[in-house]
Amino acid sequence: MFRINTFATVVSAAMSLPLASALAQDTTPPLQPGPDEGLFLIVTDIHFDPFTNPALVPELDKSPLSGWPAILKSAPPTIEGYGKDAGFTLMLSALEAAAAQNMSYDYVLYTGDYLSHHFNDHYNKYAGPSPEGVTSFAVKTTQLVSKLLGESFGGIPVFGVLGNEDSACGDYNIAPSGAYLDGLANQWAKLSLQPQRFGHFASGGYYKVAHPTLADQDVIALNSVFWSTRYSDKCNPDGGDPGADVMTWLEQQLSETRDAGRRAQILMHVPPGIDAYDTAQDAGAGTCDAGVELFWRDPYLSDYLALMKKYAGTVDYSFSGHTHMDGFTVLRDDGGQPLMVNKISPSVSPKFGNNPAFSVFLYNRKSGVLKDSVTFYLTNLVAATSGAQPEWRPEYTYRGTYSVPDLSADSFASVAETLGSNTQLQQRFIDLYSVSAAKKQIDSSSWQAFSCALEAADMDAYKTCYCGGN
């Protein structure tokens, strides 16, 4: 089990809310690795909000990162509820809960969105006279989250990617080769424990490292924000086409990995495929075809899917965040067979009505095959906002819930197919999608939009599934 390192210990001990005693009370780990098996942790979309106490912002703005914990703990510890991002207390509670599960992790993945929503607007509103500037504040905020991720788990490797909010320029506006990226490069390189592999990070926020335990695998960390339908390079309008630069770089890395007889896993924030939520919201506003919304614009989506087919057998899995929900998308080959799966992990931030969560994955340390996963969630968010101790418990294990042998693309495709006919399992998926929150993001009227998004990542296949049923 992990020790909480010095920085996190000091921060936690200073909080008057007794977080440590409020963690999952069953000390039996829900996942117990066997021979040649290990565990890794995925945390995503914390969206740390340093503006929860506006009076502290001018002091935070002037302070170096080392002074932030003392400043943040000077305010009463409060936990934010549905519709808000995670403040200091909720962030610490999630990381402490992840570290207290009697499970030893090999590494940590963070799939993006370190910064809170409306970050720039709130900074401009609360920074006070003679502010240091939003870039400096955004860098320090991201560095605080990154530092806690590194130190809460005993200094194991941490691999992060940038989310759409992670920018000093604004939402979906990260600037290539900007000061924000430059401010993170050294810290993230050190957290990876492979600093020599971060040569491309400052230019676009992407990098490739060797997998920390699998001798024949790499981890490719992308900046998929550049591919988003909402991306705008307004802070560097002469920066060329950063989306095309990432795609070119990705193909080069995949080629090198394959030629070396290795395989890869991909990390990203914005997932490939269909934005089922926006598609469902647009239903009835026009023709079905016109209402389908993509996460990425073309040609990036079609180019990426083509690369996954070209390098079939090289890429095993991809992991993303962004939706705040617990989902997946199966990518298929030209014959319609499952090729790989993109796993979308639920968020710590309860901004979109989900319960805060994190996930742990069981994998084979020789083959890299994902064997199972367990999601932990905050069970009493409403009570915790009123001062009750936060209670984190296991929500579900994947194999136990869906009766599949592993977390392969074939298994996820089988789950997607079964959900169409098994109404009891379908309801369970709907509950788990929003992390057991009372308010569900999926209902009977929107089920088809979400169901088709599980099985189809490209526009044509999705329209055949969705519009054929509408």
Tokens of 336: 């319609």
- What residues contact residue 469 under an 8 Å CB cut-off, 6+ apart? 448, 452
Region of residue 113 (phi > 0: left; psi between -120 and 50: alpha; otherwise: beta): left
Closest CA to 296 of 132, 116, 164, 443: 164
pLDDT of residue 287: 83
Closest CA relative to residue 413, chosen from 422, 404, 425: 404
Quickly count: other Cβ atoms within 10 Å of residue 34's Cβ: 8
Mark the ranges of the chain whose per-residue pLDDT is less than 70: 1-26, 237, 239, 284, 469-470
229 contact partners, CB below 8 Å, separation of at least 6: 293, 294, 295, 296, 297
Q: What range defines the domain where residue 295 resides?
A: 22-469
In terms of phi and psi (left: phi > 0; alpha: psi -120 to 50; beta: otherwise), the region of 261 is left
Q: Answer yes or no: are the C-beta atoms of 144 and 72 closer than 8 Å.
A: no
- Res 469: pLDDT: 55
Pairing of strands 315-320, 338-344: parallel
378: three-class secondary structure by DSSP: strand
> How many other C-beta atoms can be found within 10 angstroms of the C-beta atom of residue 1?
12
Residues 6+ apart with CB under 8 A from 287: none
Q: Is residue 6 part of a domain?
A: no
Interaxial angle between packed helices 447-455 and 409-419, expressed in degrees from 0 to 180 and rounded to the nearest 10 = 160
Answer whether residue 177 is part of any domain: yes
Is residue 9 domain-resident?
no
**Sheet-wide strand order for 105-110:** 158-160, 105-110, 37-43, 357-364, 370-378, 392-397
What is the pTM (predicted TM-score) of this model? 0.94
Comparing C-alpha atoms, which of 33, 3, 166, 220 is closest to residue 96?
3
- Residue 343 inside a domain? The answer is yes
The rounded distance, in Å, linking the Cα atoms of 149 and 439 is 30
What per-residue confidence (pLDDT) applies to 12? 47
CB 466 within 8 A of CB 288: yes
- Residue 428 CB-density burial (10 A; 0-12 exposed, 13-18 middle, 19+ buried): middle
Count structural domains, the chain. 1
Under DSSP, is residue 371 helix (H, G, I), strand (E, B) or coil? strand
**Chain centre to alpha carbon of residue 384:** 23
Which 3 state secondary structure label does DSSP give 99? helix
What CATH number should be reported for the domain holding residue 45?
Answer: 3.60.21.10
Element (H, E) at 361: strand 357-364
Treating both helix axes as pointing N-terminal to C-terminal, what angle do 134-151 and 88-99 enclose, rounded to 10 degrees?
20
Tokens standing for residue 169: 């320029």
> What are the residues whose beta carbons fall under 8 Å from the beta carbon of 201, sequence distance 6 or more?
181, 184, 185, 188, 189, 207
3-state secondary structure of 38: strand
- Any domain includes 8: no
297 in a structural domain: yes
Of 44, 160, 33, nearest in space to 104 by CA: 33
Q: Which among 195, 217, 215 is positioned nearest to 207, based on CA atoms?
A: 195
Locate 270 and state its tokens: 């914005």
